[in-house]
């Protein structure tokens, strides 16, 4: 039996998601990012390993301590935005949870993962 992939948001990711939803009717940029986000979530539901894996040594300590994660995936969005998610076992043995940690622009992404500006 195939496991269902359930997608949930961290409070931080939900805040950005709600912002994008509020702004999307009047902003083409936010609408483009939001549409891509919805599309990528559907792709994750089909293939939970859709995103690019982040090396374990690059996983921010904040994520490890706050959420106890041991894996991290990156999905590229339009306008150089990024979505970061982790996979965890669900409440039942037949589901996997793709927990979206953050949705951010490229500058914040580089800062969060410790990349230097070039």
Output the domain CATH number for residue 77. Answer: 3.30.2310.20
72-88: pLDDT as tens digits: 999 999 999 999 999 98
Helices (H), 11-116: 11-23, 28-46, 61-67, 106-112
Residue 73 lies in a domain: yes
Residue 51 domain boundaries: 4-112
| pLDDT, average across residues 49-78 | 94
Nearest to 5 by CA among 50, 46, 38: 46
What is the pTM for the complete model shown? 0.90
Q: If you average pLDDT over residues 79-104, what whole number do you get?
A: 87
- pLDDT at residue 92 above 90? no
Q: Report yes or no on 20 lying in a domain.
A: yes
Q: Output DSSP code: residue 108.
A: H
CB-based contact 25:15 (threshold 8 Å): no
In a domain, 118, yes or no: no
Mean pLDDT, rounded, for 90-117: 84
């Amino acid at each position: 039996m195939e496991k269902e992939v359930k997608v949930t948001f961290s409070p931080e990711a939900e805040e950005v998601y709600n912002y994008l939803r509020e702004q999307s009717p009047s902003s083409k940029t936010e609408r483009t990012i939001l549409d891509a986000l919805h599309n990528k979530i559907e792709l994750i539901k089909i293939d939970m390993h859709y995103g690019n894996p982040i090396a374990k040594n690059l996983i921010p300590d904040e994520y490890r301590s706050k959420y106890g994660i041991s894996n991290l995936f990156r999905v590229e969005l339009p306008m150089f935005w990024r979505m970061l998610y982790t996979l965890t076992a669900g409440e039942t043995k037949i589901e996997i949870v793709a927990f979206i940690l953050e949705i951010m622009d490229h500058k914040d992404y580089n800062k969060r993962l410790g990349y230097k500006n070039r």
